[in-house]
Structure 1
Amino acid sequence: MTTPVRASELTGRGWLNTGGQELDLQGLRGKIVILDFWSFCCINCLHVLDELRPLEEKYGDVVVTVGVHSPKFEHEADPDALAAAVDRYEITHPVLDDPRLQTWDAYTARAWPTLVVVDPEGYIVAHLSGEGHVAGLTSLVEELVAEHEEKGTLHRGDGPYVPRPQPEGDLRFPGKVVALPDGSFMVSDTGHHRLVQLESDLTTVRRTIGSGARGWADGGPELARFNEPQGIAVLPGAVRSAVGYDLVVADTVNHRLRGVDLGSGSVRTIAGSGVQRLLDDARARGVDPNLVPETDPTDVALSSPWDLVWSDAADTLVVAMAGTHQLFSFDPRTGAIAVLAGTGDEGLRDGTAHESWFAQPSGLVQDVHGTVWVADSESSALRSVRFPQAATGGGEAADPAGDSGVGSAEGTPVVESAVGLGLFDFGFRDGPAGEARLQHCLGVTVLPDGSVAVADTYNGAVRRYDPATRETTTLTRGLAEPSDVLLDTGQEEPTLVVVETNAHRLVRVAVPKQAQTVDEGAAQMQRRRTPVAPGELELAVRFAAPAGQKLDTRWGDPTQLKVSSSPEEALAEGGGTAQGLTRTLRLAEGVTEGVLHVTARAAACDGSPDGEIPEHAACHLYQQDWGIPFTVDPAAPATLTLELRGLD
């Protein structure tokens, strides 16, 4: 038994979704409170928002979810940007604005997302990291309801949520745009869960595709349903003729790809089962998570596809699979789906496609050489994927910078970083590639001279990277979270069409002959670095199986830790993957700061904690990735404790 811990007060700059009311824990007494520590840049946090919706609806009279927004990027600390995100993701619970991470620190959160459960008497009963906890939360809520109804400490009734006024207009938080062969544009009207075809003036609506209601349904343009669609790709003519549809849409929250016939406006599901792909579920079953089964593509699990582009070099669609930090390939003609690049680890690591790391890739474009450029949002990086010379689709994959090394010796694609350093480095700085900084970029396009324009979303700017000189400049700024950018050559002079998401519109930007230069400095995530002692460091991850489950020890230790560091040389000992949730690490001599990358996982199955696991019991994998920025301090403790699933 542990001593009950009283929940800390909720402090921050202000509240949203409360009608202007300031909330405190005393006023929430009698309710089961779920604190959701999130940031609106984080794909895992967005997954949790959707996971919590059914639980909030089912237990709305006894459960109050409080989103504690604890920003990673500077832009996320802007109260207007947070308010827009609350509207964009249709959050229907109170949100505390915590820009100085006061409540984050009070609850010792170390990862986005983190969930903390507070019982009706104000005591912490669970501390959970990562996503995928809804089954356990549901079980815990039911236990708490029974316990506190018996004690008379549960108060049923409406919670403190008050909806905010919503913007009106043809578009609501549009995401991506493509040019259609007839000179019009198709826009993913993400906030309205539909597609909108606009005339060349960018304002006149020709038609809409999708009912406008959140959901999933195939059918005609009035019946089809999407769930926060994002990227759209126009298929090559020969492919369109072979498959019978013209566009492929990344239906992000449905975890599906949808095909759209421009003639009839009908929508069909072409890939994705609707079940979110979880890499560690495959690992728990002893299956290589980077192998996609050869089956009907609509039976394959995907995870938050965010953008798509047709690759001539690979003769297939490339899909930015933001939820697993990878690039996938999808061939509409055969239905074949495969992992194209990325191990599934979140971070920035270059190399061959199958050893590289991405961090929430969100924008794709192909250049004339066949190179695919990637807006890698969480690492604030511009990346490139270069294909071997022997391209199958007729595109020559030559290096735009003139280098000869296009692919690996085995003929696999190669991933390189043009701008960006990693998960916690960002800013607004022009200049040479090694010094330039972006901030959570979401879109890319190729300019007439072969340079790359980037929708630098959290800087409110469009930036330009020149592969020949490796210089970064600024084309325009002052935009409201631009999420995509597209070169339009249909005008007298080439222009950029920019999706200005938070202004709910598309705008044109001239392509200037010379770009202005900006240097507002580099920055790092404002989250405090964790002080650790030099030398040996004892790492421990706490995990407790939910009620009604027990650790699955039938084939040995069901827990695992994977540890690495940035820079790699910061960790002298203790790196790698091994069973168990404790590890002795040794920091290299002379290291003063860095980032520890920790992945913990544990397998538990339904069954009595004191009995055997039934033969056909359902089993569950709990997993979380942490990036822990640290600083070395001789006075700091030589221990680091993380919560995978802690129960108090």
Structure 2
Amino acid sequence: MSEPAPTPTPRRARVRAPELTGEGGWLNTGGRQYSLADLRGRIVLLDFWTFCCINCLHVLDELRELEEKHRDTVVVVGVHSPKFAHEAEHRAVVDAVERYGVEHPVLDDPQLATWKQYAVRAWPTLVVIDPEGYVVAQHAGEGHAHAIERLVEELEAEHTAKGTLRRGDGPYVPPEPEPTTLRFPGKALRLPAGTFLVSDTTRHQIVELAGDGESELRRIGSGTRGFTDGDAATACFSEPQGLALLDDGSVVVADTVNHALRRLDPATGEVTTLAGTGRQWWQGSPTSGPARETDLSSPWDVAWWQGRVWIAMSGVHQLWAYDPAGHTVSVAAGTTNEGLVDGPAGQAWFAQPSGLAATPERLWLADAETSALRWVEADGSVHTAVGTGLFDFGHRDGAAGQALFQHPLGVTALPDGSVAVADTYNHALRRYDPATGEVTTLATDLREPSDAVLDGDDIVVVESARHRLTRLRLPEEAVRVQAVAHRTRRAATEVAPGRLRLDVIFQAPKGQKLDTRYGPSTRLLVSATPPELLLDGEGAGTGLARTLELNPAVEEGVLHVSAMAASCDDDPDNPYPACHVHQQDWGVPVRLAGDGADRLPLVLAGLDA
């Protein structure tokens, strides 16, 4: 007779999980409200997210396989914690849950009540709760699915042996599908024949509409999420966004969640892959090379400029370019650091570039997370027309230096040299005139506009959350609206002036160790807004702990912290261990106070310290 399997050793000291509360209530549950007691006996994975955040969208995709594999033991609960004012609107959260295919319950927490109870500091953050209601792990950033998978398997074994694991169907109830022609369309393109191509993002298809912008002519793509080349009926996309017309009449598609560029032949409907492997780019991956062999990261829009396809590489806060002559891709501007920094291409910082528009002299871009309109000159230098940083946004017309947008996703070059901005979270179409430096409002009450294209004297707007194209006459004069200014809803952390100990906490997942075969396996980058906030401690290094010197003359600001750690399977007999990259960017609003903290802990992976 075989010996019974030993009971797994309980993990670390346990902390009781705080209750889940949120004024917005629960989504994807058929109207039922839940408490942690209702989920007792299941492994609960809390995903603190906000729908503006590209890293949060990456985590949604990372979790799909884990959700499916452990559906009878694991309940994933999305806790939606807004950054922008628009994200606190319940209707917007409902839309986002459908838009991004979220197939688990979501708690709408507009006042950040649960966020504060769990001491979360960054989007995204994952918290694992065991079947007895205790917190056993916390991970900030993306790239942790493998570690959580292993922890789930351990918890399944441990609580099966204890008799505390409850299997069965989870609380997820899918919403009823809506019979609209388009469903959360992303971008549009007017073809030379006068018809429109639209990325029907949530349905994973490209749709051709007649010149009226309403009548459906054909669909390209099977409608099933996937990464397959082929004809119009069999090709597969995954949440496609941007579209660009090339000189040969073909169309480049930014196939966002496939991390790829696809080529569409409008004449035949045939789809082929131009660039990308289907894998997401991570720190340390090649930044140039053969297009089909180089990883990309959430390309959101594309534009033909200066003989290349420019790519708004939202997932890594950069601009890349595809060279059709050499079939190569390479970084064109940006450092992967998230923020708003102008200057030479190799030194500029972006924050989720999401919309592109080319003129002969400039490449305009909507930099979503900094609520900014920016441009690239022919020499590669980067400039900002409107916008100040990651935490300032609103709806304010006037001089560019004081005008405000809120998470714009699209930009369109107008015939007079000005540009229209799809000011997404303000539900507005705005206009910036470089000749005068003025921002005006062209139209309001546009539900989450994400793009616009010219059609004669009209501008056709993609109203993403109304699932349609809306035709507007370009007015001779802009209208003004009442000025509104916001800062992010997150409360500032009070810290003492002078020396501040920054500790990024990283614990390699069980069965892994830091990968030091080729040198240091960790990286830490620190900066501040305004720059004067930091007297010492700015810059890059390999250690995950650093002493900063805060300027007592600066009352408040934002500490920007970017951390990365690489871990590999700890198996000396395996010459090719599996390795993983864990990374996260934090923007921590701070306020200097005499009785403030002298230590700032940020959890990359492990238990809170």
Render the CA deviation track for 1:358-413: whole Å, top value 9, x for unaligned.
1000100012x43010011111000000103xxxxxxxxxxxxxxxxxxxxxxxx1
Alpha-carbon distance in 2 for matches of 1:357, 1:226:
29
Quote the residue 1:217 is aligned against.
228
Residues 337 and 562 in structure 2, CA contact (< 8 A), matched pair in contact too: no
The alignment partner of 1:84 has SS state of helix
2:181 to 165, 170, 176: 170
1:12 to 22, 38, 55: 22
Instruction: Give the residue type in structure 2 aligned to 1:381.
Output: A
Render the CA deviation track for 1:43-66: whole Å, top value 9, x for unaligned.
110010011001000000000000
Alpha-carbon distance in 1 for matches of 2:589, 2:321:
33
Residues 227 and 254 in structure 1, CA contact (< 8 A), matched pair in contact too: yes
Quote the residue 1:273 is aligned against.
277
Instruction: Give the residue type in structure 2 aligned to 1:629.
Output: P
Quote the residue 1:329 is aligned against.
321
Residues 172 and 191 in structure 1, CA contact (< 8 A), matched pair in contact too: yes
Q: How many angstroms does 1:470 deviate by?
A: 0.7
Q: How many angstroms does 1:472 deviate by?
A: 0.2
Q: How many angstroms does 1:446 deviate by?
A: 1.3
Instruction: Give the residue type in structure 2 aligned to 1:503.
Output: R
Render the CA deviation track for 1:554-599: whole Å, top value 9, x for unaligned.
4555333211111111100111112221111001130110110111
Instruction: Give the residue type in structure 2 aligned to 1:266.
Output: E
Residue 549 of structure 1 pairs with residue 512 of structure 2? yes
1:630 to 576, 587, 590: 590
1:303 to 290, 297, 300: 297
**Alpha-carbon spacing, 1:635–1:511, altered in 2? closer, same or farther (3 Å):** same
Q: Calculate percent identity across the aligned residue pairs.
A: 56
Q: How many angstroms does 1:535 deviate by?
A: 0.8
Quote the residue 2:565 is aligned against.
602
Render the CA deviation track for 1:251-306: whole Å, top value 9, x for unaligned.
1011111111111111111111000011x233xxxxxx5x313x3x2111011111
Quote the residue 1:408 is aligned against.
none
Pairing of 1:20-99 with structure 2 (within 5 A): 20-99=31-110
Quote the residue 1:392 is aligned against.
none
The alignment partner of 1:126 has SS state of strand
Q: How many residues align?
A: 597
Q: How many angstroms does 1:170 deviate by?
A: 1.3
Alpha-carbon distance in 2 for matches of 1:613, 1:67:
39
Instruction: Give the residue type in structure 1 aligned to 2:596.
Output: A
1:469 to 411, 436, 441: 436
Quote the residue 2:488 is aligned against.
525
Alpha-carbon distance in 2 for matches of 1:84, 1:305:
22
Quote the residue 2:254 is aligned against.
250
Quote the residue 1:380 is aligned against.
371
Residues 281 and 621 in structure 1, CA contact (< 8 A), matched pair in contact too: no
Pairing of 1:147-226 with structure 2 (within 5 A): 147-226=158-237
Residue 292 of structure 1 pairs with residue 252 of structure 2? no
- Taking only aligned residues, the RMSD between alpha carbons, in angstroms, comes to 1.3
Alpha-carbon distance in 2 for matches of 1:190, 1:340:
26
Q: How many angstroms does 1:2 deviate by?
A: 5.2
Quote the residue 1:395 is aligned against.
none
The alignment partner of 1:351 has SS state of coil
Unaligned runs of 5+ in 2: 1-10
Residues 552 and 592 in structure 2, CA contact (< 8 A), matched pair in contact too: no
Residues 88 and 173 in structure 1, CA contact (< 8 A), matched pair in contact too: yes
2:263 to 259, 263, 274: 259
Residues 398 and 438 in structure 2, CA contact (< 8 A), matched pair in contact too: yes
**Alpha-carbon spacing, 1:59–1:633, altered in 2? closer, same or farther (3 Å):** same
Residues 606 and 613 in structure 1, CA contact (< 8 A), matched pair in contact too: no
Quote the residue 1:459 is aligned against.
426
2:337 to 345, 351, 357: 345
Alpha-carbon distance in 1 for matches of 2:552, 2:180:
59
Render the CA deviation track for 1:610-645: whole Å, top value 9, x for unaligned.
xx5843222222221111111111111111001000
Alpha-carbon distance in 2 for matches of 1:144, 1:644:
21
Alpha-carbon distance in 2 for matches of 1:364, 1:554:
41
Instruction: Give the residue type in structure 1 aligned to 2:296.
Output: L
Quote the residue 1:644 is aligned against.
604
Quote the residue 1:537 is aligned against.
500
The alignment partner of 2:157 has SS state of helix
Alpha-carbon distance in 1 for matches of 2:607, 2:551:
34
Render the CA deviation track for 1:289-345: whole Å, top value 9, x for unaligned.
5x313x3x211101111111110xx21111111111111111223212111111111
Q: How many angstroms does 1:19 deviate by?
A: 0.9
Alpha-carbon distance in 2 for matches of 1:374, 1:209:
27
The alignment partner of 1:253 has SS state of helix
Alpha-carbon distance in 1 for matches of 2:438, 2:482:
13
**Alpha-carbon spacing, 1:647–1:615, altered in 2? closer, same or farther (3 Å):** farther
Alpha-carbon distance in 2 for matches of 1:436, 1:539:
34
Render the CA deviation track for 1:440-495: whole Å, top value 9, x for unaligned.
00011111211100000000000000001110000000011000011212xxxx11
Quote the residue 2:532 is aligned against.
569
1:511 to 469, 474, 492: 474
Residues 46 and 127 in structure 2, CA contact (< 8 A), matched pair in contact too: yes
Unaligned runs of 5+ in 1: 283-288, 389-412
Instruction: Give the residue type in structure 1 aligned to 2:584.
Output: Q
Instruction: Give the residue type in structure 1 aligned to 2:559.
Output: L
Q: How many angstroms does 1:222 deviate by?
A: 0.7
Instruction: Give the residue type in structure 2 aligned to 1:363.
Output: G
The alignment partner of 1:479 has SS state of coil
**Alpha-carbon spacing, 1:88–1:342, altered in 2? closer, same or farther (3 Å):** same
Alpha-carbon distance in 2 for matches of 1:442, 1:223:
30
Residue 432 of structure 1 pairs with residue 423 of structure 2? no
Residues 444 and 486 in structure 1, CA contact (< 8 A), matched pair in contact too: no
Instruction: Give the residue type in structure 2 aligned to 1:95.
Output: V
Instruction: Give the residue type in structure 2 aligned to 1:8.
Output: P
Quote the residue 2:7 is aligned against.
none
